[in-house]
Structure 1
Amino acid sequence: MNTASASRAERSPAIPASRRVVDAPTRVVHWLLALSFIGAYLSGDSERWRLLHVSLGYTILGLVVHRVLWGLIGPRHTRLSAWAAKLRGTPDFLRSLRSGKPNPSAAQNLLNTLFAILILGFALIASISGYAVYEELGGDWLEELHELSSDGMLVMVLGHLLLIVTSSLLRRQNLAARMFSGRLPGRGPDLIKRNHGALAALILAVVLGFWFVQLLAPA
């Protein structure tokens, strides 16, 4: 009886081990920021879609503020201090390049951190300057700043996507999957102990509610 059970267990496919590496609020903010930027960028030159453009700009500003706050009080691996620790490895990485023995994993982590910081920085500048332009608080230089920061954010987003695709091919692992499930295959403890699903649901509800009030609710 025990032998038969053991035999069936051996024939059953093994469930691959995985670990949580990204919490739910970070994933929700990531995708909301991506969608908001795409919509804002595409609607930027259209008077017809000006309300959509402005509403998405407000959304981007709110999401960036949340990400900064979450980087101060959130899980250890999502904090801004974790980014700072990765940036401190820049001299070692540059020395490895000069020696001809670069570490691909270290390069991917460093570049990914740089892209994340620059994307948030450009997003903050674009949203604040966009608000100033909308309220007619400045001259033409603010409009130029808004356009330049928006284009800069686009370049950083494209660079980020290229890095993810290249790293996924080199590692033979879909690194983008972690921003959907929050998990990556591999044994070991979860880097993120709590998923904070309730907070993620609250963020999503607030953003969707804001969009409804701004764009769909009757005047």
Structure 2
Amino acid sequence: MKKIIRVWDLPIRLFHWLLVLCIIGSLISANLGGNAIQWHAYFGYCILTLLIFRIVWGFIGSTHARFASFFPKPAIVIVYLRKSTPHYLGHNPLGAISVFALLLVLSVQACTGLFVDDEVAFQGPLAKYVSESTIALLSEIHESNQVLIYALIAIHISAIWYYNKFKGENLIKPMISGDKEIDPSQQVNDLSSDLGQPSQDGALQRGLALLILSVIAMAVGYFIAK
């Protein structure tokens, strides 16, 4: 009989899928142009809110959501690449690199977008506080950074396909249900420290996450409106 372990708490799962939807909406609205650029900004503000929440949750969230539990130390990455380590319930070392890289490039995109001014359809809420040369620089970074975002998304999707196809590990299902199934006969291949640390995902945990997200959303909204 397989053992069920809660790996991803509800706040992390909602963050993940809301971020996916916001990124898709942001890309579509950016390519449509015209009046849709305002929706591009709205999606950008939502992404910024979600990113701030993820950073906070990375320090106070459940076991496998915390950055300390999957920080990709070089030595661990090298050992993992040599295929001499057990399976990971949470992010493996390569997945951890992907997570941190995505958080970084998306943060750069969201922050630089606050300073963009196309002098036609959109002006970022912070553009009026900086010089034209600064606006030009940050706008260029905002435009160029899209390439990194596309590349990392492609790598992320390819990794999901690879693990499902060649390693028989479905990475999407646990991000929906929150649980991973562990075959007792295969436990020797799993990181023992992971097996004893299921993520907390009760009402208190979820309530705290909702409170934090609400405060962040109100702060971002006030900041932008001001």
| TM-score, length-scaled by structure 2 | 0.72
What is the aligned partner in structure 2 of residue 56 from structure 1?
Answer: 43
- Per the TM alignment, residue 144 of structure 1 is displaced from its structure 2 partner at its CA by 1.5
Q: Residue type matched to 1:144 in 2?
A: E
Percent identity of equivalent pairs: 28
What is the aligned partner in structure 1 of residue 147 from structure 2?
Answer: 151
- Per the TM alignment, residue 141 of structure 1 is displaced from its structure 2 partner at its CA by 2.1
Q: Is the 8 Å Cα contact of residues 25 and 199 (structure 1) preserved in structure 2?
A: no
- Per the TM alignment, residue 172 of structure 1 is displaced from its structure 2 partner at its CA by 1.8
What is the aligned partner in structure 2 of residue 191 from structure 1?
Answer: 198
- Rounded to whole Å, the distance in 1 between the matches of 2:63 and 2:159 is 24
The 3 A distance-change label for structure 1 pair 55 and 200 is: same
What is the aligned partner in structure 1 of residue 62 from structure 2?
Answer: 75
- Rounded to whole Å, the distance in 2 between the matches of 1:41 and 1:114 is 23
What is the aligned partner in structure 2 of residue 34 from structure 1?
Answer: 20
Secondary structure in structure 2 of the residue aligned to 1:49: helix
- Structure 1, unaligned runs of 5 or more: 1-13, 210-219
- Identify which of 149, 153, 169 aligns with 2:165: 169
Q: Residue type matched to 1:155 in 2?
A: A
- Rounded to whole Å, the distance in 2 between the matches of 1:73 and 1:208 is 18
- Per the TM alignment, residue 207 of structure 1 is displaced from its structure 2 partner at its CA by 10
The 3 A distance-change label for structure 1 pair 74 and 88 is: farther
Q: Is the 8 Å Cα contact of residues 43 and 49 (structure 1) preserved in structure 2?
A: yes
- Per the TM alignment, residue 86 of structure 1 is displaced from its structure 2 partner at its CA by 5.3
The 3 A distance-change label for structure 1 pair 77 and 86 is: farther
What is the aligned partner in structure 2 of residue 21 from structure 1?
Answer: 7
- Rounded to whole Å, the distance in 1 between the matches of 2:156 and 2:167 is 16
Q: Deviations over 1:107-160 (max 9, x none)?
A: x81221111101110110000101111333433221121122222122111111
Q: Is the 8 Å Cα contact of residues 25 and 203 (structure 1) preserved in structure 2?
A: no
Q: Deviations over 1:148-187 (max 9, x none)?
A: 2222122111111111111122232322101100011125
- Per the TM alignment, residue 190 of structure 1 is displaced from its structure 2 partner at its CA by 5.8
- Structure 2, unaligned runs of 5 or more: 117-122, 185-194, 219-226
- Per the TM alignment, residue 197 of structure 1 is displaced from its structure 2 partner at its CA by 3.6
What is the aligned partner in structure 1 of residue 136 from structure 2?
Answer: 140
Q: For residues 78-97 of structure 1, what are the structure 2 equivalents within 5 Å?
A: 78-84=65-71, 87-93=74-80, 96=82
Q: Is the 8 Å Cα contact of residues 47 and 110 (structure 2) preserved in structure 1?
A: yes
The 3 A distance-change label for structure 1 pair 87 and 161 is: farther
Secondary structure in structure 1 of the residue aligned to 2:92: helix
Q: Residue type matched to 1:193 in 2?
A: Q
Which of the two has higher C-alpha Rg?
Answer: 1
Secondary structure in structure 1 of the residue aligned to 2:115: helix
What is the aligned partner in structure 2 of residue 109 from structure 1?
Answer: 92
The alignment yields a C-alpha RMSD, in angstroms, of: 3.0
- Rounded to whole Å, the distance in 2 between the matches of 1:72 and 1:208 is 18
Q: Is the 8 Å Cα contact of residues 7 and 180 (structure 2) preserved in structure 1?
A: yes
- Per the TM alignment, residue 19 of structure 1 is displaced from its structure 2 partner at its CA by 1.3
- Rounded to whole Å, the distance in 2 between the matches of 1:87 and 1:73 is 24
